Structure formats: C-alpha cells, structure tokens
Amino acid sequence: MCGDSGGSHQRQNPKMMGKYVVTGGSGFIGTNLISDLIKNGNEVLSIDIQNPKISEHQSIFQKINLLDDVNLEKAIFDFAPDYVIHLGARTDLNEKTLEDYNANVQGVKNLLKILENLPSLKRAVFASSMYVCRPGYKPKSYEDYQPHTVYGESKVLTEKIIKEANPEYEWTIIRPTSIWGPYFGEPYNLFFKIVLGRKYFHMGERACKKTYGYIDNFIYELKSILNADKNLVDKKVFYLGDYEPYDISEWADEIAKEKGIKIPNVPYTLFKVLAYTGDFLKVFKIKFPMTSFRLSNMTTDNVYDLSDTQKIAPNLPVSRIDGTKVTVEWMENS
C-alpha cells in the first residue's frame, strides 16, 4: 500500500504560491494538477490542443499547438510564469515513425528556446515517460535507455535534447509511472474497466508486481520537487509513482470488492488464446480487451526505484484503497 495518512479528498501537498504554465493542461494529469493549483490560490495558464475536461478550466485555457512556436511564445511571455510544467505530448503507442511524435521532440525544442529568454522563470519541470525503458528492464543509470516503442524513442530524444541544452534556469525531468485516478483515459483506465466489467480473471501464479501511482500522490511528489532546494532537484531525473509496488492480483481484488465482485481463476493458456484473438482482430482495427502486448505487460514485473523521489516527498497522502474507492466512484458518476 502507498501512504497511510489522510483521506483521498485531502491533498497534503506543499503549498507553493505563484504563476504556473501547464502544457498538456487538458490531459488526465494536467486536469488534476490544475485543479489542485487553483484550489491553493495559484494563477494558472493551461495550454493544450484539446479543450479542458472540466468547464472551470476554460477561463484559464489557451488552445495552442506545441509546434506553433510563435503563439506559444506569446502566450508564455504575456503570462510571465514563475514555474513551467511541461506535460504536453502525444502519448499513444499507435504510430510507427518518430515524425508522428514530432509534438514531443520539436515541441520540447520550441519550449526550451522560449524559456531560455523568460526572465520570470524560477524552475521548469519536463515530463518524460517510464517508457524510455521497456517494461521489466532495470536501467543502470538515468542515461541508460531501452525503449520498446516509437513513443518511448521520442521521449528518449526529448530527454537527450533537454540534457544537452542544459538550460541555465533550474530544471528537472520526471518520468511518470502508470498514473491512475479520476479523469484518466486509455490505456490506464482499461484495468478498472475490465475488472468492473467482470472481464478480469486471475491467472494463477502468473500475477506480477508493478509500480503504479495514484494521481494525488503524483501531484504531491511533483509539487515537492518544485519546492525542494535547488541542489536536490536541479538537472536531475525522478520517477514518480507510489513507493510500494502493486501486486496486481491484490489490487484487482480491491477494485472488484468495491462492487461486490469475486474474481475467478482461469488457466494461463486461455489468456494466450485470447491474446492471439486480440492480435488477429487488431489487424482489422477491431478493439479487443486482450492482445499479446497487453498480456506481456500483465505478466512482466515492472518495478522502479523511487528512493530518490521518496527522499524529497516522503509521505504520500493517499492509500491505494482510498484512491481506488474515489476512482470507482468517479467512473460510476462520469
């Protein structure tokens, strides 16, 4: 379990007053982060190519493509932020070429160029991804990359671009793990959907452990990084997520318990058959809850070392059980 203090409705984040630009503000993480920042009295500018998920964010939103460097620069300079949190990116795994993820690569180049001339800037945080390394691979350092998708390759490039530019202002790279909670979408909400839809089955001894992170805990960690002494976070990389790995079978049972569902056991062989079926249907662009890619993810341990993050943000505010309850309730009401 992660954390043991406080209810899931009470974010125990460091309170930092200031002006924030959040790119990708209409995304899952951005939506939750902006709500938290506004609630704590900060001024926020949300930048995204998608409209906000909640109407309250419309008044602070500007629809700008990260590739549109002219309008991006004008918006940021006019707002004059103290902090920039760069979450904006294409995050799906569907495309085959790096050019398809140009918003990630050229987008960060555009932002770096803008920020180097921004006099108000105190600190910037750039979001990368855990997929700079394939699931199950334990990197020897933060410069050890083993991506297994083109999306992951694009994030490796963005990290290298930031590190090589090495801006004079204070900067940090974060690698979100599998973050979940209200307003999340595919693929991270699929696990909840499958369990709550009674389509999840335990696969005997094949269950694995993974690093996941509840959204409120992620925000607490992010704000702790923004609030930390320069020498602890400047020019460094951090994984963000809950500190104790999740036993996937245990978590599935916790999700199912919220709706009184009992999960049956099914032989692993059947999962392989379903995965092959999903692979076949994918050729015809028919969605199916199981594919070989997903089955591999489900059965591969994927645990990250978050000890560096834990030193800066030691007390996660929300337990997994409390986060699960809030998320199931949100899914029902949305």
CATH number of the domain at 37, please. Answer: 3.40.50.720
Query: From the CB of residue 250, how many other CB atoms can be counted at a distance below 10 Å?
Result: 12
Query: From the CB of residue 333, how many other CB atoms can be counted at a distance below 10 Å?
Result: 7
Residue 193, pLDDT score? 95
* Cα dist from 136 to 94, 180, 184, 281, 303, whole Å: 21, 20, 24, 27, 7
Among all chains, which residue has been given the structure tokens 């999340």? 184
Domain carrying residue 86: 19-186+212-244+305-318
Asked if residue 284 belongs to a domain, the reply is no
> Per-residue confidence of the chain (334 residues) as pLDDT tens digits?
344 333 333 344 445 689 999 999 999 999 999 999 999 999 999 999 999 999 999 999 999 999 999 999 999 999 999 999 999 999 888 888 999 999 999 999 999 999 999 999 999 999 999 999 998 898 999 999 999 999 999 999 999 999 999 999 999 999 999 999 999 998 889 999 999 999 888 886 677 899 999 999 999 999 999 999 999 999 999 999 999 999 999 999 999 999 999 999 988 888 889 899 999 999 999 988 789 988 887 788 889 999 999 999 999 999 999 999 999 999 999 8
Residue 91, pLDDT score? 87
Asked if residue 295 belongs to a domain, the reply is no
Structure tokens at 295: 């089955």
Residue 16, pLDDT score? 61
Asked if residue 181 belongs to a domain, the reply is yes
Backbone φ and ψ for 333, nearest 5 degrees, come out as -85, -20
Asked if residue 32 belongs to a domain, the reply is yes
pTM score over 0.75:
yes
Residue 6, pLDDT score? 38
Residue 15, pLDDT score? 54
* Cα dist from 60 to 19, 40, 53, 83, 245, whole Å: 12, 15, 13, 16, 36
Number of structural domains the chain divides into: 1
- In three-state secondary structure terms, 156 is helix
Asked if residue 222 belongs to a domain, the reply is yes
Characterize the bridge pairing of strands 246-247 and 209-210. Answer: antiparallel
Characterize the bridge pairing of strands 170-176 and 43-48. Answer: unpaired
DSSP 8-state code for residue 187? T
Asked if residue 283 belongs to a domain, the reply is no
Query: From the CB of residue 239, how many other CB atoms can be counted at a distance below 10 Å?
Result: 20
129 by Cβ neighbours in 10 Å (0-12 / 13-18 / 19+) ranks as: buried
Contact predicate 134/153, CB 8 Å: no
Structure tokens at 218: 């992620």
Asked if residue 275 belongs to a domain, the reply is no
Asked if residue 119 belongs to a domain, the reply is yes
